[in-house]
Structure 1
Amino acid sequence: MSNIPEITADELQEALDSNKEFTVIDVREDEEVEQGVIPTANHIPLGHIPEAVGNLDPRKEYIMVCRSGRRSMNASEFLKENGFEQVHNLKGGMLAWNGELVF
């Protein structure tokens, strides 16, 4: 069992609505992202996370997203192992997201 906290789609929507300071990272592949992303999300495919980690600030808060929550959990665990303390996974991924999408 992972020790990564999960955030629900509703909780994420509330955080976006209140302009809470965090970064959403979408780890899906390019063709998946073409179907829409959560507003403000940064797209870093899962396979690119190890090389991108050096460009991320370990003091900031991150919410990781994928299609169902499995790949983003892997990315969350990788960040945690590399010194990131404020990492959350979107429970159920984009399948659970009913909010706005940008293309």
Structure 2
Amino acid sequence: MYGFSEITPDELEQWRSEGRKFRLIDVRSPGETGRGVIPGAELIPLVSLPMRKDEFASNDTALVIYCQSGARSAQACAFLAQQGVDCASSLRGGIVGWARSGKPVVNPD
């Protein structure tokens, strides 16, 4: 079992306010992201992640990955950990948890 960390919506907001460098990745499908995303997110559907894994392996930038509820982002983090990427965190509760905590959701670019 490969481990990865979780980050809460409040912790993610704190990272932003501190100016911490990270990539925010939404692994939901295009149909789901059309209903809204977390500001600043890159849209990389979960099915595309294996084809793009090398771009994460050669980068030390922290990754925060989210989906609808946290299940697919956990899968994504576990997959990346198997590939030797140890800087990925799953957003606890996904975008649902983010929105429930009163944080902004915007239309994708």
Normalised by the length of structure 1, the TM-score is 0.91
Equivalent position of 1:68 in the other structure? 69
The percent identity for this pair of structures is 35
Q: Deviations over 1:27-71 (max 9, x none)?
A: 000011011111111110000000011223442210110000000
* Residues matched between the structures, number: 103
Q: Flag structure 1 segments of 5+ consecutive residues without an equivalent.
A: none
Equivalent position of 1:45 in the other structure? 45
Q: CA deviation at 1:84?
A: 0.8
Q: Flag structure 2 segments of 5+ consecutive residues without an equivalent.
A: none
Equivalent position of 1:89 in the other structure? 90
How far apart in 1 are the matches of 2:45 and 2:80?
Answer: 14
Q: Say if 2:2 and 2:82, in contact at 8 Å, map to a contact too.
A: no
Q: In the alignment, does 2:24 pair up with 1:27?
A: no
Letter in 2 for 1:4: F
Residue aligned with 1:97, SS? helix
How far apart in 1 are the matches of 2:25 and 2:55?
Answer: 13
Equivalent position of 1:55 in the other structure? 55
Normalised by the length of structure 2, the TM-score is 0.87
How far apart in 2 are the matches of 1:94 and 1:53?
Answer: 23
